[in-house]
Amino acid sequence: MNLAVHLTNPIFKTVAAAAKTLGIEAYVVGGYVRDILLERKSYDIDFVCIGSGIALAETVAKELGPSTHVTVFKSFGTAMIKADNLALEFVGARKESYQRNSRKPIVEDGSLEDDQNRRDFTINALAICLNESKFGELIDPFEGVKDLKRKIIRTPLDPEVTFSDDPLRMMRALRFASQLKFDIEADTFDAMTKMTDRMEIVSDERVIVELNKMVLADKPSYGFKLFFFSGLMHKIFPELVALQGVESIGDKSHKDNFYHTLQVLDNISLHTQDLWLRWAAILHDIAKPATKRFNKKVGWTFHGHEDKGARMVPKIFRRLKLPMNEHMRFVQKLVKLHLRPIALVKVDITDSAIRRLLFEAGEDTEALMTLCRADITSKNETKVKRYLQNFNKVERRMAEVEENDKIRNFQPVITGEIIMNTFELSPGKEIGEIKEALKEAVLEGRIRNEISEAMDFMLKLGRDKGLTIVRSKK
């Protein structure tokens, strides 16, 4: 098979010319070749040469012009160039061997065959020759093209050896299956179930990169089911495993919260590419196992799972090496609040309750409502329709209250400094008590967040507490 017709970008001719100058063989390998055959866009191109990858990169850079920068990784024998919107990586063909306690290989110079042998999957072991006499010729020693047509993830060599050498490849198998909607070949998947303990030598930082790519797939549940049945989830994400299963007492059962969570994740993925909103979907019910109780009258309950779940979020983020920053706080907030809008569907709900939710959700109100809609997973279409219509009503009420009160992200007009100056107080808990009372009055609708009403309310609080008023803004 000749793929020259697909190598239209001038960079391929440039690399071919550089290889000719150096008198070496050069190939395009891996994911870029795979994506050509799958008709997917790709902006990362890997080049392998029989010789020095660094020398090839430096020669290419000269051809591209003086402004082209080469980043060299001498210890790895690789080099990178950013050209237009492409990331180009150059490496010499190599063969690898591994020690059992490390996924860092011992590397030696090798042939193209050696280089293809070390690849993780057959669909990533494809190469296209760039040399003039064979320009565009596909080299496919492991029938990767057939596997692309069959939509199969398969290792080039014995899968147990492949995964033992570099256990991260198991997570990559899940990720590729999830992204490409491919099956994992039976022997390959069977090897994964046997090799889960090998994940102990893989850093959490490398694992979370692959896991996040699974989360961002079009339909993440597929990859997560493979993650579960392979046994890898039990090693990496036991809190999610704990959601699986249904318990029954008499005629009362609860739903399988694992599969419910995956459905919520799929639902939300139809509406957002936001990684952290998807993580909120994954973690929204994470505390249900810890809060599960049985009551003879009402059956199974999970009271407080939203609060417990919010407390679990930082621990999970820290262990999985997810960022402990505003992204974590966003997920934590949504987990904590995800039941609140459901309670607001009642006809007699007060404006005060609406104000409180707007205040607590703040700028993440829309994200919260997206999560709540995704959380409706009943098979009863009438019930789903009714819930979604109720959410529409809640959103209209929220818009009305927000328009009238401008409560979202409001900052009290009375500051701690004003309180201290008015009553000649030193910093202490009394200041906090007055500020909290002012905030509650605004949220309850007893006063507006305006200086005149807030000052009158504060002065009354002070008089009730027996404080001496030394300066009034009236």
Question: Residue 42 is which amino acid?
Answer: S
pLDDT tops 90 at residue 407? no
Rounded Cα distance between 455 and 452, Å, is: 5
Residue 231 pLDDT > 50: yes
Q: How far apart are CA 241 and CA 439, in angstroms?
A: 41
Query: DSSP of 361-378, one letter per residue?
Result: HGGGHHHHHHHHHHT---
Distance separating alpha carbons of residues 174 and 178, to the nearest angstrom: 6
Supply the DSSP symbol for 75: G
Rounded Cα distance, 442 and 440, in Å: 5
Q: Summarize the confidence of residues 439-461 as an average pLDDT.
A: 83
- Residue 103 carries which side chain, given as an amino acid letter? R
Per-chain mean pLDDT for the chain? 89
d(CA 341, CA 65): 58
Domains in the chain and their CATH numbers?
A: 4-150 (3.30.460.10), 152-236 (1.10.110.30), 257-410 (no CATH), 416-464 (no CATH)
- Convert the pLDDT of each residue in 346-386 to its tens digit: 656 777 888 888 888 888 999 999 999 999 887 777 877 87
Among residues of the chain, what percentage have pLDDT more than 90?
59
Is residue 419 within 8 Å of 425, Cβ to Cβ?
yes
Task: Tell me the C-alpha distance between 431 and 420, whole Å.
Answer: 7
**Alpha-carbon distances of 18 from 55, 79, 94, 261, 308, rounded to whole Å:** 9, 15, 20, 52, 60
DSSP state of 202: S
Rounded Cα–Cα distance for residues 349 and 361 (Å): 18
Question: What pLDDT score was predicted for residue 276?
Answer: 98
Residue 418: name the closest of 460, 465, 454, 466 by CA: 454
Phi, psi of 254 (to 5 degrees): -110, 165
End-to-end CA distance of the chain: 87
pTM here is: 0.83
pLDDT digits (tens, 9 = 90+) for 178-230: 999 999 999 999 999 999 999 999 999 999 999 999 999 999 999 999 999 99
Alpha helices in 270-380 (DSSP H): 275-283, 288-291, 305-320, 326-337, 340-343, 351-361, 365-374
Q: How far are the Cα atoms of 6, 42, 134, 246, 391 from residue 304, in angstroms, in the given order? A: 57, 45, 66, 20, 22
Q: What is the pLDDT of residues 34-55, one digit of tens each?
A: 999 999 998 999 999 999 999 9
Amino acid at 339: L
Predicted pLDDT of residue 254: 86
Residue 382 exposed, middle or buried by CB count within 10 Å (0-12, 13-18, 19+):
exposed
Q: What are phi and psi of 334, to 5 degrees?
A: -70, -35
pLDDT of residue 449: 76
What is the DSSP code (8-state) at residue 201?
Answer: G
